Amino acid sequence: MLTVANIMTTEVFTIRSSAKVTQAIALMQEKQVRSLIVEREVKGGAYGIVTERDIVYGVTAKSADPTKVMVCEIMKKPCVTVEPDLSISAVANRFLEAGIQRAPVVQADQLLGIVSITDIIMKSNIETVQLPSDLFEQIEVALRHNRLSWNKDNQLEQESKIALEVLKELR
């Protein structure tokens, strides 16, 4: 079974909650990431997260000065965390329920990485669907054998229109 540990990103960038938003933006740009984990203020405390969305909605949209706004003013804290042994479907459900796109991976109070919806899509072991090599011929035979229905006005029904569009694209 594929777990969070199999797909998470282990290189995580952190920032202090007292940092200015300009510092967060600079770090995100430098590291080419969409979020930063906000360090715990005390041992055993909760992690936070600041995302590009937090910056755009909490600073840019409000015409606030990012040199004057601190990360702690716009971040999510405590943030949802996930365990490394969580299944992919379980983490996807947790993301859905919380309305989030990423979360730090924490075990025994230790930050191990970060997992995102991008990791779920890009790193999951999904079998590739192979189209049959003779798909074009199969569609043509189906059309010839009138497997697709025509209405009385000799107009294609919705399924027939779609099939013809696919046929045109395949040519």
- Start and end residues for every CATH 3.10.580.10 domain found in the chain: 4-123
Pairing of strands 35-38, 14-15: parallel
Please state whether 96 falls in left (phi above 0), alpha (psi between -120 and 50) or beta: alpha
The span from the CA of 137 to the CA of 131, in Å, is 12
C-beta contacts of 54-58 below 8 A and 24+ residues apart: 55/21, 55/24, 55/25
Residues 6+ apart with CB under 8 A from 157: 148, 149, 150, 151
Pick the CATH number of 4-123 from 3.30.160.40, 3.40.50.300, 3.10.580.10, 1.25.40.10: 3.10.580.10
Confidence (pTM): 0.70
The span from the CA of 114 to the CA of 125, in Å, is 19
- Is the previous residue joined to 66 through a cis bond, with omega within 30 degrees of 0? no
- pLDDT score of 64 more than 90: yes
21-60, pLDDT tens digit by residue?
A: 999 999 999 999 999 999 998 887 889 999 999 999 999 9
Percent of the chain with pLDDT over 70: 80
